[in-house]
Structure 1
Amino acid sequence: MLAKKVRELAAAIKPDLVAIRRHLHAHPELSYHEYNTADYVSSQLTAMDIDHIRMSVTGITGILKGKKTGDGPVLALRADMDALPIHELHESDYKSTNQGVMHACGHDFHMTSLLGTLRILKALEAEFSGEVKFIFQPAEELAPGGALMMINDGVLENPRPLNIIGQHVMPELPAGKIGFHAGMYMASVDELYLTITGKGGHAAAPHQVIDPVIISCELLVLLQQIVSRRTNPLLPAVLSFGRFIADGVHNVIPDKVTIDGTLRTMDEKWRREAHELLKKTVTAYATSKGATADLYIKEGYPVLFNEPALTADTRKWTEEYLGKEQVVDIPKWMAGEDFARYSHLLDSCFYRLGVQYPDSEKVTPLHTATFNPDEEALSTGAGLMAWITLCNLEKNAKTDKQ
């Protein structure tokens, strides 16, 4: 009967969820600048009579307490708030009004879904004991990320949650379906900034220069052996370079070359070893050619770990709510996500919400200028997270608060 109530409430609020999502989509803001977004989310919470506070400048957190007799646990739910520096090309009535900024990763969906979840839980507060700590987190897209900022500011304390749940849209998965992967799910992400300095000169006299262009090209090939020959082949790892600037001209060899790249892996120990290998390799090779090398590694998010027991429970509850046919296994994903910060501190489950239209060509991948998820998934996302929360609270009702 409780699942039926959740489904009915989720269906009833669908028009409101669509309106909220479209407002958020039309007014995106970049990482660490989500001021108007935070104001809007706050206004929605206030309208629901849900207490909350601002923290970490643009973040929002609060607690929704159940009114059922009993001593329940504290659980956490998280949604991210920021948009990307992308000029939107999808034409709609709710197209971004902020030039060059777009919700191309579904964070408008995530915020809307959590607001819907809280609205459902508020309506059912007499049905559960315990506390739901909600986190609207800024700056997921830009390292070091808003999760670290909010954690440092105490979002996981007073009270400390037993576990935390998050969801992320998945355009490759049909709307209505949910994807799970237990254990290591998403990769650590580090940014690499490399400068090779030689001695420039006339292109007609290469014997008189220390050519940073040739050295850099040879070095990029050599660095790939860190993955192909030094990484355990059973361990996912990616080393990619996406920016190479040799600012000479057709007849001038430049003094230096700058290269930007990324290192991603699923193992924190190997991640540290790879950092040292990168530094030693670039320094030794550049020196052997008479050049110098400077490598700056900007450490990003750690590996995201889905705690197996919590993930199994969450999957079971999802099957109860949507049916087994709507739940699928998904592979590891080499993208990064700063929900990973929470997963190193609490038992965590980060699952994927399908947003693909029946006509699959209508949804392009994440981080593209035409990304436009199926809004039919909004009520699924809100209702499912509410149901998972209720089941999670019930399962841990006898667990002492931490």
Structure 2
Amino acid sequence: MPSEIVHTIGCTIYLVFALLFLWMGRVPRTNAGPGWWAGAMLFALASRLAYFLLLSRTDLALAVFVYASLVAVEKALLAIGLVEFLGLQVRHRWLWAALAAAELWVLLAWLSDVHPVARSLGLALFNAGFLSFIAWTAYQRRNDVPNHLMLLTAVVSAALVLHWMSAFVIFQAVPGWRVTGFLLGTLLVLVQYMSLLAAVLMDFQRRLVQAEANALDMAFQDPLTGLNNQRYMNTLFEKALVLANRPHQSAAVIFIDLDNFKPINDLAGHHVGDEVLRTVAGRLKKNTRSTDICARIGGDEFVVICTQLDRAEQAGDIASKLLTELIQPITVEERHFALGASIGISLYPAHGDTLAKLLEYADSAMYQIKRSGKNGYQIHPGAGAAGAAAAAA
């Protein structure tokens, strides 16, 4: 294959990768890795262009000098980009120092007219050193990125180490192999940067999935207590009805309004009140089943939807258990706070077949407890109900 085609292929690949990494580096909250790799690709592109243009003027020594200088920068930027992408605690100054040493060697070798083999050996050692660091680092962090992408980076980087350490010897022995060597190196570099590009895309995918999960949490989760919110409760209610429609089973909506909570907010402060609410939420989750739905629908109001009840009386048993837990003192900042709860209960299908209607009846039963002294529970005595029950703490 003619050298012009090989260098054209290499320049095109490097330009495309530089543009892709530049674009990725501009995506918000992306770390600095892609930016460094874009710089590495631009230096790789410049090295190929300089080598091809200078070589066409039959100035081999100058072409090799410029190419070697630019390629050393590319390898250093590649290593720094990997450090940034993986978030490693590696000081850049050591990599800059190695680059400075490589550039000094290239300059001295060119000015002193060192034998081509010695000059190439020095450059190969520096580049192989950078690539060995990349290969070892990628291998050590091979589990940080899915689909074995870091392992692929490590393997290809190790192959490039062998390529750099052997190519200059082959060039001296078989000058005609130079074009093949450049083509092989281009292919290895292509795979190396493809693995890094895929790693960045995987990071984008991870962030997108995490952002979607966070958005769903914000949409369906109460941020203070971690319980479901009313929107999520509405969504899950249809599934709860499916369970309740099994033969001889029902569901219950338990509406809970805390007693004596407002004075805590007024006297101890909202930060204490928030901690009290979190404790209440923890007690509700601890004392309900995984098939039940716990939600905070506002202020100091909570709803528990109990599914798969074999008999209506079970709703009263659950309410009694929750009431016993809620009246236990809550300690915040070495201060003890005594709460109570007014609890109203409605039953499906006895009192209704929609969540709105069941909440209305449960709320009505809860207010009956409020008016009769608080700190108890009552089942809504609507038509078809099993009856009314109340319990004082």
What's the TM-score once normalised by structure 2's chain length? 0.21
What's the TM-score once normalised by structure 1's chain length? 0.21
More helix by share: 2
Q: Relative contact order (C-alpha < 8 Å, sep 6+): which is higher? A: 1
More strand by share: 1
